[in-house]
């Protein structure tokens, strides 16, 4: 396993960009998605991608709007 932390960037009006380190993505039944060697992927936030859970650029056509700024979660 890599010690490099996985970086997830919330893209304004778009996807979650996942990159760095080592990561795996599974469906609800525990089956792993093959990323075909990709070291970075974009995860859909808008719900309109035809390739869920991955972004296919559809957020632009549906005019998805979501701009976020980092904040601190309250203690658990
Ligand atoms: S965020 Fe890109 S298709 Fe949904």
pLDDT at 3: 80
CA-56 nearest atom, ligand 1 = 3
Residue 68 lies in a domain: no
14 lines ligand 1 (CB under 6 A): yes
Residue nearest to atom 2 of ligand 1 (CA): 55
Residue 63 lies in a domain: no
> Domains in the chain: how many in total?
1
pLDDT at 71: 97
Q: What is the span of the domain harbouring residue 20?
A: 1-58
DSSP designation for 30: S
pLDDT at 1: 54
What pLDDT tens digit does each residue of the chain (76 aa) get?
568 899 999 999 999 999 998 999 999 999 999 999 999 999 999 999 999 999 999 999 999 999 999 999 999 9
pLDDT at 19: 97
- The residues near 39 (Cβ < 8 Å, ≥ 6 apart) are 19, 20
Residue 72 lies in a domain: no
State both tokens at 40. 């970075």
Q: What distances in angstroms separate CA 66 from CA 6, 21, 22, 39, 69, one per listed residue?
A: 22, 26, 27, 25, 10
pLDDT at 63: 96
Residue 69 lies in a domain: no
Q: Which residues are paired to 47 by β-bridges?
A: none
Residue 35 lies in a domain: yes
Residue 66 lies in a domain: no
Residue 65 lies in a domain: no
DSSP designation for 7: E
Cα(75) to centroid of ligand 1, in Å?
30
45 lines ligand 1 (CB under 6 A): yes
18 lines ligand 1 (CB under 6 A): no
Residue with tokens 């089956």: 31
């Amino acid at each position: 396993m890599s010690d490099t932390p996985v970086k997830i960037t919330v893209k304004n009006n778009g996807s979650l960009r996942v990159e760095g380190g080592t990561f795996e993505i599974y469906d609800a039944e525990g089956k792993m998605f093959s990323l075909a060697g990709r070291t970075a992927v974009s995860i859909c936030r808008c719900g309109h991608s035809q390739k869920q859970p991955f972004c296919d650029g559809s957020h632009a056509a549906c005019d998805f709007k979501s701009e976020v700024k980092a904040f601190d979660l309250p203690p658990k």
